[in-house]
Amino acid sequence: MTPAPRTDARTTRLPGSLPVAALGLGSFLPDEVVTNDDLAEKLDTTDEWIRTRTGIHQRHRLAPDDATSDLATRAARAALDDAGMVPGDIAEVLVATTTPDYLVSGVAPIVADNLGIRVPALDVNAACSGFVYGLRQAAGLLATGSGPVLLIGAEAFTRAVDPQDRNVAILFGDGAGAIVLGTDDAGELGPFDLGADGSDPTSLYTPVGGTREPATVDNIDERRNFMTMRGREIYRFAVAHMSASSLAVLASAGLGPDDVDMFVGHQANIRILNAVADKVGIPAERCHTTVHLHGNTSAASIPLALAHARDNDRLAPGDRLLLTAFGAGLTWGSCLLTWGTA
């Protein structure tokens, strides 16, 4: 869409925002595409059930020899190429992920090493809200004078769900999206609204393998090392928190839904996304959705959707984006991002 001219964009910033621009954007999706019919060959489910309940048509699955850091590194290289930058230009690496290569040791240091740099590198684990939380962390780093921050959302959730569990196996896909953020008047990041309610993490969690219940032969035999969730509860939580959080961001910016050029929510379920857009007052033509193509890629879903929008000429400099997400923890978060490339 062609944005309305924003003559004030460089002189008047929104309250709670920073002059931060996306210097580069990149993504990586594994080659293997798994359709709903492919899943229905092994699970008691149907293409029709999955499409009508979730809007998902297909998802990508990582190659057997790959791990999350491999996806993240490829997306990072694409974002650096897009920015016309080299790894040495990056001051910090953040990886938003809930499916790390290892339980102990982060993905971000591995990615930094793959890129050949020795800079501060850490993971952000806010589950599917991770990319929005990562944007907040990046904004904080830039506000204290950091050079360009490489933020990657990367997940390999097909490795974290039980392929025999139809409740969750149908939902998730793998992939990574990366953005290079730098202090620059060409863009604007914020305000933010982030939140967490840790009173019952069991509504969406992996019971076994952490310090609460270390893995044993018995509990692995019971398949409790895979992620599980109470779907309907999460659905209600997602709609309530993503819409309230989106409205809170608009209120603190002094804007209304008509000021948003594109709404990109965490791509978990088309019914959730439609319900949130409806509550926030954003019409379908200003929502960008990729859940039908990628499934739920958790922290990677928003940057993958942004890259998809840009690659399909739906994202232009000056566009004001409203991003919102929810996830395990439980966590949620929203922010405004005015797209700008230096």
Active site residues: 128, 266, 296
Which strand ranges, in their side-by-side order, compose the sheet holding 20-28? Answer: 20-28, 174-183, 149-156, 92-96, 121-124
Say whether 99 sits in a helix, a strand or coil: coil
Calculate the CA dihedral of residues 290, 296, 298, 300 and round it to 10 degrees.
-40
What is the Cα–Cα distance from 137 to 151, expressed in whole angstroms? Answer: 9
State the amino acid at position 120 in one-letter form.
Answer: P
- Of 155 and 193, which CB lies nearer to ligand COA in the complex structure? 155
Min dist CB 46 to ligand COA, Å, is 7
- Of 120 and 231, which CB lies nearer to ligand COA in the complex structure? 231
Min dist CB 325 to ligand COA, Å, is 8
- Of 179 and 229, which CB lies nearer to ligand COA in the complex structure? 229
Cβ contact 186:180 at 8 Å? no
- Of 241 and 288, which CB lies nearer to ligand COA in the complex structure? 241
- The beta-strand segments (E) located in the chain are 20-28, 32-35, 58-61, 92-96, 121-124, 149-156, 174-183, 188-196, 204-205, 228-229, 262-265, 320-327, 331-338
For ligand COA, the binding residues (CB under 6 A) are 45, 49, 53-54, 128, 166-167, 170, 204, 229, 231-232, 234-235, 268-269, 296, 327
HSE at residue 208, side-chain half, CA atoms within 13 A, is 14
- Structure token pair of residue 234: 């999460």
- Structure token pair of residue 122: 């850490």
- Structure token pair of residue 287: 């929502």
Min dist CB 127 to ligand COA, Å, is 6
- Of 128 and 322, which CB lies nearer to ligand COA in the complex structure? 128
Cβ contact 217:160 at 8 Å? no
- Of 17 and 99, which CB lies nearer to ligand COA in the complex structure? 99
- Of 49 and 316, which CB lies nearer to ligand COA in the complex structure? 49
Q: Which of 155, 154, 173, 181 is nearest to 79 (CA)?
A: 181
Q: Which residues, in sequence order, are bridge partners of residue 189?
A: 18, 337
- Structure token pair of residue 129: 């809200």
Min dist CB 286 to ligand COA, Å, is 22
Collect all residues with Cβ–Cβ distance below 8 Å to 184 and sequence separation of at least 6: 19, 20, 21, 23, 340, 342
Lookup result for tokens 């219940």: 213
What is the Cα–Cα distance from 21 to 142, expressed in whole angstroms? Answer: 11
Provide φ and ψ at 331, rounded to 5°.
-135, 160
